[in-house]
Chains A and B, each alone.
Chain A
Amino acid sequence: MTQLALALDHRPAMGEADFLVASSNRDAVLWLDRWPDWPGAGLAIHGPAGCGKSHLAQVWRRRSGARSINATTIASEEPATLLSGCNGLAVEDADRGVDERALLHLYNWTAEQGGHLLLTGRSPPARWGIALPDLRSRLAAMPAVAVTQPDDALFSAVLIKHFSDRQLRVGDSVVHYINSHCERSFEAAGRIVAALDGAALAEKRNITVPLARRVLAEIAAS
């Protein structure tokens, strides 16, 4: 049995104004809040595409001074070079085509230096089909936290935030309409708001449900 949590989603006054928490990403956010207090050198965040793993990685990078690298390029440099001038790395898409020896080497090196690794992928590390036993065991020992698709409340909040970033005042009905008719991902939210902004500006119109309906249809068609 797992204890469920109350939906108290207010972020503290101190920082992270640009990050919204909801049940879909709360555990991941809590883990990132705890950094550098992780049990080991690594943390894995997994979840479907568009559910905000990259954004989480970015938030962590800004906070920790870590750099970002795609899993396929790990083998191209020595860990010392990859980690020079920073104390951590966010390795994105670690579940796709990573050089296992290079990752093991990188993990060991980072751990020795007292640094941290954040790995992201679409599935938990246990399902990455890692062949190298030493790497498998390190991944098994690493905490792995899931991020799920944003729920209604979070998605609405993200839309509202995108609108307010662009200083656009938009009615509830528009937000509601977009929420019910669009792909539930962070990237999509940004794209749609940008498209709406552009359309409204070009046609000198306010953003209304009819405009949203049209823009969404255009996006779907392209």
Chain B
Amino acid sequence: MSDGFSRVAGPPEPRANSELIGHDEAENIFLDSWGKGRLAHAWLITGPAGIGKATLAFRLARRLLEKNAPQGDPRSVYRRVAAGSHADLFTLERPVDSQTGTRRGEITVEVARKVAPFLHLTPAEAGWRVVVIDGAEKMNRNAANAILKIVEEPPANTVILMTCEGRHKVLPTIRSRCQILALRPLDASLMSSWLCRHRPDLDPKQAMALAQISAGSPGNALRLVDAEGLGIYEEMLSLFANLPCLDTAAAHEFADRISSSRGEDSFRMFLELFASWLVRLIRVIATDDHSVTGLSEEDVLVNRLAARREGLDRWLNLWEKAVRLTAQTESFLLDRKQVLLSLFDCLEGDDPMNCNPNRF
């Protein structure tokens, strides 16, 4: 039975991922209360993107569906949950964008309205009915209203598992009805050994470096490996090595390459890496904590930039701008190369006002 991992496809979809790392405590809280007969009917799984919230949600769903069910053979449950064809599981999530193949946009009321009819029918296997809402904060207002009543008063034999990037991003009335499982980003060494298991060709030092730069998300780490993100990251560091001086020709060439249409993944990956580097830089400056990341080039660069005592504002502005441009690039079809150059522009030079976060 495939565990959902493939050398070609990158990280498996959460619903098809049979492996969960680093969240045993959260899983045990759920299993414990279930074992004691005090299972809450609504759960909210929170934490940053990509650390395994949806994977946990589907895993808990499978556990529920395997119990008390004549067709509860775990393999069969796994297959059907992975294929979206389990009659007692309803999943509410953002639609898949046909162009990029990833999930984007909002959860609209049209799909949210299908939860109630699902719960109006009996469970097919005489056990639990499970609703997974992946990305509760992505529900638009009407969608959230449509499911509010269900979360407040779920019918018998029903469990609702919601994931959300921050507990304050869902309506208080929804949040107050849920038991919260707050997941933390994975510890780097745990991720590093996990990475080595799945990509045995990786050198342990590289694995550690990848673990450091993937912000506690195994999904990110795997994507970085498969799209040669580490290479892009190292290039980025050497491009920035002499900041505040920036070799313009090299910057243009890099921007050209990264933004070319063939490198679709590379572009977005670069923006993520850039943003996460900024976050680490900001943290170092703010906390004065110069821990080692495992990539000596990054440490040197970061320490040097931190030592310049330029103040956080400049970096915060730049980070804000990077995040905004990342979000906008897809929706507004911005020119990718210009986006990159504009970001590099802000890096260059001494003038902290050089970077206007609100200007492209």
Chain B 319-350 residues near chain A, CB threshold 8 A: none
Do the beta carbons of A85 and B152 come within 8 Å of each other? no
Among A16, A36, A114, the most chain B Cβ lie within 10 Å of the Cβ of A36
Do the beta carbons of B153 and A15 come within 8 Å of each other? yes
Q: Could you say which of A13, A16, A36 contacts B145, with CB atoms under 8 Å apart?
A: A36
A64 to B172, CA, bound (A): 11
| A63 proximal to B (CB < 8 A) | yes
Contacts of B156 in A (CB 8 A): 13
Do the beta carbons of A87 and B171 come within 8 Å of each other? yes
Do the beta carbons of B172 and A13 come within 8 Å of each other? no
The chain A residue sitting closest to B158, CB to CB, is A14
Do the beta carbons of A36 and B142 come within 8 Å of each other? yes
| B204 proximal to A (CB < 8 A) | no
The chain A residue sitting closest to B155, CB to CB, is A14
| A204 proximal to B (CB < 8 A) | no
A107 to B156, CA, bound (A): 38
**Closest CB-CB distance, A35 to chain B, in whole Å?**
7
**Closest CB-CB distance, A111 to chain B, in whole Å?**
12
Contacts of A115 in B (CB 8 A): 141
Do the beta carbons of A35 and B155 come within 8 Å of each other? no
A149 to B129, CA, bound (A): 40
A62 to B149, CA, bound (A): 9
| A190 proximal to B (CB < 8 A) | no
**Closest CB-CB distance, A29 to chain B, in whole Å?**
13
Using known A-B contacts A14-B119, A65-B148, determine if residue A87 contacts B141 with beta carbons closer than 8 Å: yes
Contacts of A13 in B (CB 8 A): 155-156
Do the beta carbons of A14 and B141 come within 8 Å of each other? no
A62 to B142, CA, bound (A): 16
Do the beta carbons of B155 and A87 come within 8 Å of each other? no
Contacts of B173 in A (CB 8 A): 64-65, 86
The chain B residue sitting closest to A65, CB to CB, is B173
Do the beta carbons of A14 and B145 come within 8 Å of each other? no
The chain A residue sitting closest to B113, CB to CB, is A37
A45 to B124, CA, bound (A): 41
Among A13, A14, A62, A86, the most chain B Cβ lie within 10 Å of the Cβ of A14
| B146 proximal to A (CB < 8 A) | yes
Report A14-26 CB contacts with B as 1/0, cut-off 8 Å: 1110000000000
**Closest CB-CB distance, B108 to chain A, in whole Å?**
13
Q: Could you say which of B109, B142, B148, B172 contacts A63, with CB atoms under 8 Å apart?
A: B148
The chain B residue sitting closest to A115, CB to CB, is B141
Contacts of B120 in A (CB 8 A): 14
Using known A-B contacts A14-B119, A14-B155, A65-B171, determine if residue A87 contacts B145 with beta carbons closer than 8 Å: yes
Report B128-171 CB contacts with A as 1/0, cut-off 8 Å: 00000000000001100110110011011000000000000001
Contacts of B155 in A (CB 8 A): 13-14
A113 to B142, CA, bound (A): 11
**Closest CB-CB distance, A44 to chain B, in whole Å?**
19
Report B239-263 CB contacts with A as 1/0, cut-off 8 Å: 0000000000000000000000000
Chain A 1-60 residues near chain B, CB threshold 8 A: 13-16, 35-36
A1 to B156, CA, bound (A): 41
Using known A-B contacts A64-B148, A114-B141, determine if residue A14 contacts B172 with beta carbons closer than 8 Å: no
The chain B residue sitting closest to A15, CB to CB, is B153
**Closest CB-CB distance, A40 to chain B, in whole Å?**
14
**Closest CB-CB distance, A110 to chain B, in whole Å?**
12
Using known A-B contacts A65-B171, A85-B172, A87-B141, determine if residue A36 contacts B146 with beta carbons closer than 8 Å: yes
Using known A-B contacts A85-B172, A87-B171, determine if residue A64 contacts B153 with beta carbons closer than 8 Å: no
Q: Chain B: residues with CB nearer than 8 A to chain A?
A: 109, 119-120, 141-142, 145-146, 148-149, 152-153, 155-156, 171-174
Q: Chain A: residues with CB nearer than 8 A to chain B?
A: 13-16, 35-36, 62-65, 85-87, 113-115
For the A-B complex with A35-B145, A63-B152, A114-B142 known, give 20 more contacts whose Cβ atoms are closer than 8 Å: A14-B119, A14-B120, A14-B153, A16-B153, A36-B109, A36-B142, A63-B148, A63-B149, A64-B173, A65-B171, A65-B174, A85-B172, A86-B172, A86-B173, A87-B141, A87-B145, A87-B171, A113-B141, A114-B141, A115-B141
Closest 8 pairs (CB-CB, A-B): A65-B173, A15-B153, A36-B145, A114-B141, A14-B155, A63-B149, A36-B142, A65-B171
